[in-house]
Amino acid sequence: MEDRSSAFSGSTGTGGYETPDEEESPTTSRTVRFASEVQEHEHDAGRDRVSDVDIDKKRFMLIKRPKLGQGIAARVFRRYPRCYAFWIGMVFPLWFLVLLSMLGGRLLGDLEFDTEVAGNNEAMRNRLMAKTYDQAVSDTVSFAPQVCYTLFKQNISVSNLTSYWSEILDQQDSLLDYLDLRQEELVGVDDMIDNVTEFSSYLGECGRVADNFTNNIQQIFFGDFEISFSGSTKLTFSWSRCVNVTDPSRYNHIFQPRLSHIYAARPENQSKTFSTAWHEDQQRLRIQYLQQYRADNVSNARLKAFNASIFEASAEHTCAVNVPATAWFWFTVMTTVGYGNQAPVTLWGRVLIFTFGFYSILMFAGVLTAAGVVTSLLVNDFAIRLRLRLLANKVVMMIVWGLLWVGWLAFMSAHAIEWTRWRLEEQMSWEDGMWFAFISTTTVGLGDFYPTPEVMFTSDILIFSLSFLLGFVLLSAFLTEMALSMGYFFPDLGEELAKRLKYVGISPFEGCLHGPRSDFDEAERPEDSPLSCQGSMLGKEPEVPALPEQPPHLQPLRKDSDFNGSVMSGSFAYYGPEVDVDELKAKTDM
């Protein structure tokens, strides 16, 4: 008899059998599909669950990635696998993350720039108003004795003190003139006091009137606008860079900055630049409004011009989006480091982080995983080819990767120390540098140490980003080897847990869903429980019910089987009674 196994000498099929090399006819293909459906239906009806092997196979098929194919990339990979993996699997993806940070940072900077500049303008306004208020109160208290003495010598009655105090404040037509009040304008040096008792009583009443005016100076000078003493008066430059140049945006194109660029970008110098520009703009607006109000014969023109100028003054012309700072912030979001020194405050800025930022986090996770695998494989291949058998030990490799990671932390620490000294003229110790490198590569990001965004330039983004990414890769490889090493000491509970979850009920009174329970003894079973469970607390294994025996026509293919009346495919053979081919054709054509 002809060896029927030779008919399946082709490629391996999906079901574990071999498919013939010759091409099947359409009729045979439809017949095979019909027979496959019959077998699958009858087989599923004969058993009550799918085996673990089938589940694992289906899960594998769901995550199976496409192959390289036959293109140029595939040919390069097959000929130069190490170079291809190094450049395509590591270098290019890491650079892609850096470019992604710059793109996301630029978009976020455009959304946050106006809000930050407006906040700085408000801070300057609060500064000036608080300073003016304090000066007004101080001058009122300072000049109160002289004013009261002059009013006493002019025989102004106590009942008229309130109106005269108002005239003193209003006669200068503005707060600015009032602050320039001089003592010699109020008091004569040759005046003498005749009645000391009367004078003392007069001073007391005059002081109470002055105190009332002192408490209402804010309303007198600033109207209904409330001075925000508790408001922030600190200038921030997280998204903007304010420098004293014609075009501040050109600082974004500086790759390696000079000392003058660094000096101008330091936070304290940016604050001086912004403050000076704001005061200049406020004075310009005050003069402009003063001329306009005087031309229109507006009462209290100088006071109104002063108030209008402080609400419209701005130093935005000295600022531009700080692209390196925003790109660095996006990098910390993408890598989940998050030092906490910067945060978007606008709605659309937060929406951008929620959408595009989350996508960046996913991209970072994928690239980091792939880069870690490629690095580990290349190093293992290097060790094998050099016959370094010691590196074949998982514990040794874990130690090697750990030392590489710690060594890279030392490099990052040295760079952070030098960068801080050069950019900010501040000293950072080795302990602080190592701590900064550790909290950065582990993505803890506590926020006690972080690169100052105000003095970051394009070169800093590239160096910090790439050094961080390499630290992430080394740490990932170290943790992978550690997990493999720990596997020798700790059992893998996954397979056993999957088995027991299938055959053990959820509650003690539920009984067994698909098999005996294993979490309590049979003697502890309640009497009213309708189901009986065999416990395994005493070490008994749950009994797995056997699958029903399959019918003869669904038995796997055997060499001594009879092929008469059978329909064969690449995954099974249908055995049964004689099949009418015409009937099968009619069913498959439906």
pLDDT surpasses 80 at 519: no
Instruction: Give me the mean pLDDT over the 292-298 stretch.
Output: 86
Taking CA atoms, 43 is separated from 40, 49, 50, 465, in Å, by 5, 11, 10, 56
Taking CA atoms, 121 is separated from 98, 102, 311, 425, in Å, by 33, 27, 9, 28
Instruction: Give me the mean pLDDT over the 285-293 stretch.
Output: 91
pLDDT surpasses 50 at 567: no
Q: Are 83 and 343 in contact (CB under 8 A)?
A: no
Q: Report pLDDT for 2.
A: 42
Cα distance between residue 330 and residue 109, in whole Å: 10
Closest to 476 in 3D by CA, of 410, 398, 361: 398
Q: Report pLDDT for 375.
A: 86
pLDDT surpasses 80 at 181: no
pLDDT surpasses 60 at 372: yes
Q: Report pLDDT for 28.
A: 47
Ranking 314-318, 389-393, 514-518 by mean pLDDT, the lowest is 514-518
pLDDT surpasses 90 at 102: yes
Q: Are 96 and 460 in contact (CB under 8 A)?
A: no
Cα 459–Cα 259–Cα 271 angle in degrees, nearest 5: 95
Give the pLDDT band of residue 67 (cuts 50, 70, 90).
low
Average pLDDT, the chain: 73
Q: Are 589 and 27 in contact (CB under 8 A)?
A: no
Give the pLDDT band of residue 578 (cuts 50, 70, 90).
low
Instruction: Give me the mean pLDDT over the 260-280 stretch.
Output: 94
Instruction: Give me the mean pLDDT over the 509-515 stretch.
Output: 46
Closest to 583 in 3D by CA, of 567, 568, 571, 559: 567
pLDDT surpasses 50 at 513: no
Decide which of 175 and 400 is more confident: 400
Cα distance between residue 297 and residue 310, in whole Å: 21
Cα distance between residue 242 and residue 269, in whole Å: 9
pLDDT surpasses 50 at 146: yes
Structural domains in the chain plus CATH codes: 8-47+562-588 (no CATH), 96-125+232-334 (no CATH), 127-222 (no CATH), 368-486 (1.10.287), 491-546 (no CATH)
Q: Which residues touch 28 (CB under 8 Å, ≥6 apart)? A: 567
Max Cα separation, the chain? 149
DSSP 32: H
Cα distance between residue 243 and residue 317, in whole Å: 10
Decide which of 521 and 291 is more confident: 291
Cα distance between residue 468 and residue 450, in whole Å: 13
Give the pLDDT band of residue 309 (cuts 50, 70, 90).
very high
Q: Is 337 exposed, middle or buried (0-12, 13-18, 19+ CB in 10 A)?
A: buried
Q: Report pLDDT for 56.
A: 42
Give the pLDDT band of residue 119 (cuts 50, 70, 90).
very high
379-386 contacts, C-beta under 8 A, 24 or more apart: 379/477, 381/82
Cα distance between residue 416 and residue 434, in whole Å: 9
The two structure tokens encoding residue 2: 């002809």
Reduce the DSSP state of residue 146 to 3 states and report it: helix
Taking CA atoms, 148 is separated from 140, 213, 326, in Å, by 11, 13, 59
pLDDT surpasses 90 at 347: yes
pLDDT surpasses 90 at 14: no
Q: Are 289 and 75 in contact (CB under 8 A)?
A: no
Helix (H) or strand (E) holding 31: helix 26-45
Q: Report pLDDT for 22.
A: 42
Q: Report pLDDT for 533.
A: 45
Q: Report pLDDT for 486.
A: 77
Residue 125 carries which side chain, given as an amino acid letter?
Answer: R
Q: Report pLDDT for 562.
A: 44
pLDDT surpasses 60 at 44: no
pLDDT digits (tens, 9 = 90+) for 439-487: 999 999 999 999 999 999 999 999 999 999 999 999 988 988 888 777 7
